[in-house]
Chains A and B, each alone.
Chain A
Amino acid sequence: MLPEIGHSSLVLASLLAFLNVSFLVWLQLKSDAAIEQTSLFSLAAASRRLVIGQWFFVTLAFISLALCFVGNDFSVAYVVQHSNILLPLNYKISAVWGGHEGSLLLWLWILCLWSSMLVIVYRNQSLPMSVNIRLFGVLGFITLGFLLFILFTSNPFDRVLPVFPMDGQDLNPLLQDFGLIVHPPMLYMGYVGFSIPFAFAVTGLLEGEFDRTWAARAKPWAKGAWAFLTIGIALGSWWAYYELGWGGWWFWDPVENASFMPWLAGIALIHSLLACEKRDGFRIWTVLIAIICFSLSLLGTFMVRSGVLTSVHSFASDPSRGLFILVFLALVVGISLLLFFLRAGRLQTQTGFSFLSKEFFLLLNNIFLLVACSTVLLGTLFPIISDVLDLGKISVGPPYFNSLFFPLGVLLLFVMSIVPELRWGGVSLNESYRKIFVALLLSVLLSVLFLWLFFIDIHLKVLIVLSLCLWSLVLLFWRNGFVARILRLDLLKDMSISEKNMHLAHFGFLVALIGIALTSMYSEERDVSLGMNESVTIANHDFMFSGVEQLQGPNYLATRGLVKVTSPSGKALSLHPEKRHYYMQQKPMTEAAINPGFLRDIYVALGEDLGAERWSLRIYYKPFVRWIWLGALIMGLSCFYYLLSQNRLVKKVLGGDV
């Protein structure tokens, strides 16, 4: 019964989404003069209700699927593949989005959630009626596409009848983790959230206008989506770090890249929307980036689902799925870029700005970000290109990305530090010159001192990145009355909420970057083979191995190693890395033992049994690695803070603008 309820809810939702699209088409076919205000009014009201309706039915489908998992309904193929009787309840629920079909349902549900939030924010008809219809028509088109994709190629409610198994196959042990419960929903909130600025951009093209009012409308949504994406990516990186047992936090895996591209484009979008809002310029550019940003999200979805790439994240591939989503991608992106080509010319404005202006540097930042984005895109697609052209199977590894991201990062950092010093429209920098140079000198000295105290040897690359980060920080504090403010603990007082958001987000970015630079260059890692009570010294820490023991888990059997670590200051701690064998699956899983710290992590993973009580162990010493996720958290939370405070202001702002 439940699967049928879920299935029919999806069918009903697609009918509603279809109505949204047909309103849009109807509006496009009629000339504006021929439409009566009253019918326009009722269509606008209806299109808002339809969105809420879609959200309701998709929620119903989602709950049905979750109940199938909880009730062990093994007549549902998707449940058979991703659950079994022994699976703990919380993983049964998170297993709902543990596979291809269910995670698409989550994607869809989040899309409906964002659209509904849009309805709620603009519930007082503060948008013009035609904008209303077009906006929800565009979103309805995307919703409809995903609904049909699910119904025709990836239905999670498909049954295995008449003979169905008594028990399921278990969820991939990799995915039995807190990381899985939160990582995909966060990431999807980000990916899908970019559909809102995208819808604004396309609606703007259809309406033939995209001015500062439009930018002001789209900006909070872009920030929200980006904040979720930031936290989602950070969670994924953190999850890979402690769960996969690889000891790294970023692997340039194609699917990681797929989330990284919209993230980069998202930064460009937020800054471009800002410039458009403040100066009414960059209209065409902003619209283009909004389209690119969501297209990259869709492209990511396509790459993961169609099997064009192989990666740890890949879902089982199926050519019909790939073809469907490719056609859909081509339609959404193709139509919007075609519209861009035909209509963007109308958005043209003439706003002049000089070289030393905020606008110019924001544009520069946008270009660097898009170059970075293309770099990732090229690196991700290159293996595919070479495969298709029969040049042999090639994988583009970290060396490519790292060598390109260092100079791009330095350029970005430079621009980022300078921008807040500049004014809109451009102004002479005379009084700031000295300050900027003094700050630079100060930060280089500080960096040298810090690196020398902490690590003794000084890498040039780290020195450059660290100096620029500190430079940015020093300028930030200096501008705001540095010492006096620190003493009064009111660093952010007298600032508008957007300014606080900006400074905090930049601060988070710098924290993450410092973490990346230090952990990349100063980490130590060793693979060692240790017998009973043997020890090894890594990064001044002493690691002693005291054998293994067997341990029984709820649905696995574990071999647990005991490692005693003594720090240079004589503090001792014990770590217990595990190797787990899940009963239902043959793959052994590595559970690394991690001792976290603000300044360093110690990470021990248990390797192979070498016989005679000897084991291979992988030991890492990772300085400042937590700063990466801390920085991401600050970036994300600063945007949420902005959005929450915006909520009270929303009525005032929007009440004024229409």
Chain B
Amino acid sequence: MNEDTSKKLGLVIPLILFVAMIPLFFFAMGEDKEEIPSPLIGKRMPDFLLPSLDGDGIYDRQSILGEPFILNVWGSWCPSCILEHPYLSELNQKGVKIVGLNYKDTEEGAREFLEKLGNPFAVIIVDAKGELGIELGVYGAPESYLLNGNGEILFKRVGVIDERIWKEQMEAIYLKAIENEKSEKGVN
């Protein structure tokens, strides 16, 4: 090898190093950092003792279970919840049970919100101080959990649920939970 070629080879090193880095970045990008796995997935939701918005008594975990459902964390102070609300109503009309967790809100605020936008919730648990929120690891509103009839958390969504999110990420899990529920009942 003469001196010229070896010099030429030296000049190509930066390019090679850089090109080697590209696939690294490409594959690293695929890893979804937004999806912070909740340690609660696969576990039962924490138990609680909280009043409902209707004032019809104190609820605990057992009282909201039975069939697969969505636990939706919302508040009238949260603009994104306004965005999300029509789709929740749509889901409710399709027969999906939704339990509301009114999070760090005022009673009047919550009532006004529901009067204006309708009430898709089977029951609304009031968590004014965010006690259950802490147990669940709520980041902010809106946030939704998909649970089966035994209260086991199957899926967690931070942010608004819309049609795309439901179809792509949640519906299959929900339908499977319904399926399991039916077959269990069949066996019994």
Question: Which residues of chain A have a CB within 8 Å of any CB of chain B?
Answer: 80, 160, 163, 165-169, 284, 288, 291-292, 295, 302, 306-308, 310, 314, 316-317, 319, 322-323, 326, 329-330, 333-334, 337-338, 340-341, 344-345, 348, 381, 384-385, 387-388, 583-586
Interface residue? B24 (CB, 8 A): yes
User: Would A319 and B26 be within 8 Å (CB), given that A169-B80, A295-B18 are in contact?
Assistant: no
The minimal Cβ–Cβ distance linking A336 to chain B, given in whole angstroms, is 9
**0/1 string, B25-41, CB within 8 A of A gives 1:** 11111111110000000
Interface residue? B1 (CB, 8 A): no
**0/1 string, B74-94, CB within 8 A of A gives 1:** 000111101100000000000
**Which listed residue (A316, A334, A586) contacts B140, Cβ 8 A?**
A586
Q: Tell me the bound Cα distance from A291 to B139 in angstroms.
A: 42
Q: Chain B residues near A314 (CB, 8 Å)? A: 33
Q: Chain B residues near A288 (CB, 8 Å)? A: 14
Q: Chain A residues near B24 (CB, 8 Å)? A: 381, 384-385, 388
Q: Chain A residues near B34 (CB, 8 Å)? A: 307, 316-317
What would 22 A/B residue contacts be, using CB atoms closer than 8 Å? A165-B79, A166-B79, A167-B79, A288-B14, A291-B14, A308-B29, A316-B34, A319-B30, A326-B25, A326-B29, A330-B22, A333-B18, A337-B18, A340-B15, A341-B15, A384-B25, A385-B24, A388-B28, A388-B31, A584-B77, A585-B140, A586-B139
The interface residues of chain B, by DSSP majority, are classed as helix
The minimal Cβ–Cβ distance linking A61 to chain B, given in whole angstroms, is 25
Q: Chain B residues near A306 (CB, 8 Å)? A: 25, 29
Nearest 8 A-B pairs (CB), nearest first?
A165-B79, A337-B15, A308-B28, A322-B29, A384-B28, A388-B27, A341-B12, A341-B11
**Which listed residue (A166, A169, A341, A387) contacts B28, Cβ 8 A?**
A387
Interface residue? B157 (CB, 8 A): no
Q: Chain B residues near A344 (CB, 8 Å)? A: 11
User: Would A310 and B11 be within 8 Å (CB), given that A381-B24, A388-B24 are in contact?
Assistant: no
User: Would A345 and B11 be within 8 Å (CB), given that A165-B82, A295-B18 are in contact?
Assistant: yes
Question: Which residues of chain B have a CB within 8 Å of any CB of chain A?
Answer: 4, 7-8, 11-12, 14-15, 18-19, 21-22, 24-34, 77-80, 82-83, 104, 130, 138-140
Q: Tell me the bound Cα distance from A316 to B35 in angstroms.
A: 11
The minimal Cβ–Cβ distance linking A424 to chain B, given in whole angstroms, is 25
Q: Tell me the bound Cα distance from A326 to B29 in angstroms.
A: 9
Q: Are B22 and A586 within 8 A (Cβ)?
A: no
The minimal Cβ–Cβ distance linking B4 to chain A, given in whole angstroms, is 8
Q: Chain A residues near B138 (CB, 8 Å)? A: 586
Q: Tell me the bound Cα distance from A168 to B77 in angstroms.
A: 10
For B30, the closest partner residue in chain A by CB is: A319
Q: Chain A residues near B79 (CB, 8 Å)? A: 80, 165-169
Q: Are B140 and A165 within 8 A (Cβ)?
A: no
For B22, the closest partner residue in chain A by CB is: A330
The minimal Cβ–Cβ distance linking A639 to chain B, given in whole angstroms, is 27
Q: Chain B residues near A163 (CB, 8 Å)? A: 83
Given contacts A319-B30, A384-B25, A388-B27, 20 further A-B contacts (CB under 8 A): A168-B79, A284-B11, A288-B14, A306-B25, A307-B29, A308-B25, A322-B29, A326-B22, A329-B25, A334-B15, A334-B18, A337-B15, A341-B14, A345-B8, A381-B24, A387-B31, A585-B140, A586-B104, A586-B138, A586-B139
The minimal Cβ–Cβ distance linking A43 to chain B, given in whole angstroms, is 30
For A348, the closest partner residue in chain B by CB is: B7
The minimal Cβ–Cβ distance linking B118 to chain A, given in whole angstroms, is 14
Q: Chain A residues near B26 (CB, 8 Å)? A: 326
Q: Tell me the bound Cα distance from A316 to B130 in angstroms.
A: 25
For B82, the closest partner residue in chain A by CB is: A165
Q: Are B33 and A340 within 8 A (Cβ)?
A: no
Q: Tell me the bound Cα distance from A302 to B29 in angstroms.
A: 10
Q: Tell me the bound Cα distance from A344 to B15 in angstroms.
A: 12
Q: Are B25 and A302 within 8 A (Cβ)?
A: yes
The minimal Cβ–Cβ distance linking B73 to chain A, given in whole angstroms, is 11
Q: Chain A residues near B12 (CB, 8 Å)? A: 341
Q: Tell me the bound Cα distance from A338 to B15 in angstroms.
A: 6
Q: Which of A295, A333, A584 has the most chain B CB within a 10 Å cutoff?
A: A333
For A168, the closest partner residue in chain B by CB is: B79
User: Would A310 and B80 be within 8 Å (CB), given that A292-B14, A338-B15, A340-B11 are in contact?
Assistant: no
Q: Chain A residues near B28 (CB, 8 Å)? A: 308, 384, 387-388
The minimal Cβ–Cβ distance linking B75 to chain A, given in whole angstroms, is 9
Q: Tell me the bound Cα distance from A317 to B35 in angstroms.
A: 11
Q: Tell me the bound Cα distance from A308 to B24 in angstroms.
A: 10
The minimal Cβ–Cβ distance linking A340 to chain B, given in whole angstroms, is 6
Q: Tell me the bound Cα distance from A206 to B12 in angstroms.
A: 17
Q: Tell me the bound Cα distance from A213 to B130 in angstroms.
A: 66
Q: Tell me the bound Cα distance from A348 to B12 in angstroms.
A: 15
Q: Tell me the bound Cα distance from A317 to B22 in angstroms.
A: 18
For A292, the closest partner residue in chain B by CB is: B14
Q: Which of A316, A337, A344 has the most chain B CB within a 10 Å cutoff?
A: A337
**Which listed residue (B7, B83, B104, B140) contacts A345, Cβ 8 A?**
B7
Q: Chain B residues near A316 (CB, 8 Å)? A: 34
Q: Are B33 and A307 within 8 A (Cβ)?
A: yes
Q: Tell me the bound Cα distance from A510 to B28 in angstroms.
A: 38
For A381, the closest partner residue in chain B by CB is: B24
The minimal Cβ–Cβ distance linking B188 to chain A, given in whole angstroms, is 42
Q: Tell me the bound Cα distance from A160 to B162 in angstroms.
A: 14
The minimal Cβ–Cβ distance linking A586 to chain B, given in whole angstroms, is 5
Q: Chain A residues near B32 (CB, 8 Å)? A: 307
The minimal Cβ–Cβ distance linking A52 to chain B, given in whole angstroms, is 33
The minimal Cβ–Cβ distance linking A380 to chain B, given in whole angstroms, is 12
Q: Are A310 and B29 within 8 A (Cβ)?
A: no
Q: Chain A residues near B130 (CB, 8 Å)? A: 586
The minimal Cβ–Cβ distance linking B13 to chain A, given in whole angstroms, is 9
Q: Are B19 and A334 within 8 A (Cβ)?
A: yes
Q: Which of B24, B26, B28, B139 has the most chain A CB within a 10 Å cutoff?
A: B28
Q: Tell me the bound Cα distance from A388 to B8 in angstroms.
A: 32
Q: Chain A residues near B25 (CB, 8 Å)? A: 302, 306, 308, 326, 329, 384
Q: Tell me the bound Cα distance from A316 to B12 in angstroms.
A: 36
Q: Chain B residues near A295 (CB, 8 Å)? A: 18
For B4, the closest partner residue in chain A by CB is: A345
User: Would A319 and B14 be within 8 Å (CB), given that A381-B24, A384-B24 are in contact?
Assistant: no
For B27, the closest partner residue in chain A by CB is: A388
Q: Chain B residues near A326 (CB, 8 Å)? A: 22, 25-26, 29
The minimal Cβ–Cβ distance linking A567 to chain B, given in whole angstroms, is 40
Q: Chain A residues near B19 (CB, 8 Å)? A: 334
For A169, the closest partner residue in chain B by CB is: B79
For A291, the closest partner residue in chain B by CB is: B14
Q: Tell me the bound Cα distance from A163 to B28 in angstroms.
A: 37
Q: Tell me the bound Cα distance from A306 to B31 in angstroms.
A: 11
Q: Tell me the bound Cα distance from A302 to B18 in angstroms.
A: 14
Q: Chain B residues near A80 (CB, 8 Å)? A: 79
The minimal Cβ–Cβ distance linking B162 to chain A, given in whole angstroms, is 13
For A583, the closest partner residue in chain B by CB is: B77
Q: Which of B15, B25, B139 has the most chain A CB within a 10 Å cutoff?
A: B25
**Which listed residue (A284, A317, A330) contacts B33, Cβ 8 A?**
A317
Q: Tell me the bound Cα distance from A163 to B14 in angstroms.
A: 52
Q: Chain B residues near A387 (CB, 8 Å)? A: 28, 31
Q: Tell me the bound Cα distance from A172 to B24 in angstroms.
A: 32
Q: Chain B residues near A384 (CB, 8 Å)? A: 24-25, 28
Q: Chain B residues near A292 (CB, 8 Å)? A: 14
The minimal Cβ–Cβ distance linking B69 to chain A, given in whole angstroms, is 24
Q: Tell me the bound Cα distance from A593 to B173 in angstroms.
A: 49
Q: Chain B residues near A317 (CB, 8 Å)? A: 33-34
Q: Tell me the bound Cα distance from A168 to B104 in angstroms.
A: 18
